[in-house]
């Protein structure tokens, strides 16, 4: 009797682990060579907004739109991601970052309150005044 109970518990745990091993479609999307990557990334942003809008205390809603897009590049100068700044009713309401890695789009970060990290990087003139650390 105890052995049957253990087998059921182990079976349940194995099924749960198996299901958790698959990524959620809301955060990852495999692409083919002919896919318009930016259009698919924008689609993911709107899906992310719809998914999280009920939890944003009204910050995101059906009026949330992409305001500005910043392209991200790898070391070979290929686009490998996008930062979509968002607005709701004309007010800045965060961002969503979508990265393109190994032929897959992934929502890697988002915020419905904060500015994206690129907004806080100093301008190039300010960088010239900083002391080099790794010389």
How many Cα atoms within 13 Å fall on the side-chain side of residue 88? Answer: 18
The owner of tokens 């930016």 is 38
CATH dotted code for 29-116:
3.10.450
**pLDDT at site 113:** 81
Domain ranges of the chain: 29-116
| 72 has a pLDDT exceeding 50 | yes
Strand-strand pairing, 28-30 and 104-111: antiparallel
- Output the furthest CA–CA distance in the chain (Å, rounded): 74
pLDDT digits (tens, 9 = 90+) for 19-62: 445 444 445 555 555 568 999 999 999 999 999 999 988 899 99
Q: What's the CA gap between 117 and 119, in Å, rounded? A: 5
Q: What is the mean pLDDT of the chain?
A: 77
d(CA 44, CA 81): 12
């Amino acid at each position: 009797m105890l052995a049957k109970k253990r087998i059921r518990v182990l079976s349940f745990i194995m099924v749960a682990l198996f299901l958790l091993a698959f990524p959620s479609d809301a955060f990852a999307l495999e692409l083919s060579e002919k896919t318009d990557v930016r259009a698919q990334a924008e689609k993911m942003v709107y899906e992310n907004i719809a998914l999280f809008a009920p939890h944003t205390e009204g910050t995101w809603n059906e009026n949330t739109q992409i305001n500005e897009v910043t392209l991200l590049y790898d070391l070979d100068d290929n686009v490998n991601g996008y930062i979509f700044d968002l607005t709701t009713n004309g007010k800045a309401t965060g961002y969503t970052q979508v990265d393109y890695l190994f032929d897959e789009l992934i929502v890697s970060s988002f915020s419905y309150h904060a500015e994206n990290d690129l907004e806080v990087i100093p301008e190039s003139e300010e960088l010239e005044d900083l002391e080099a650390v790794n010389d």
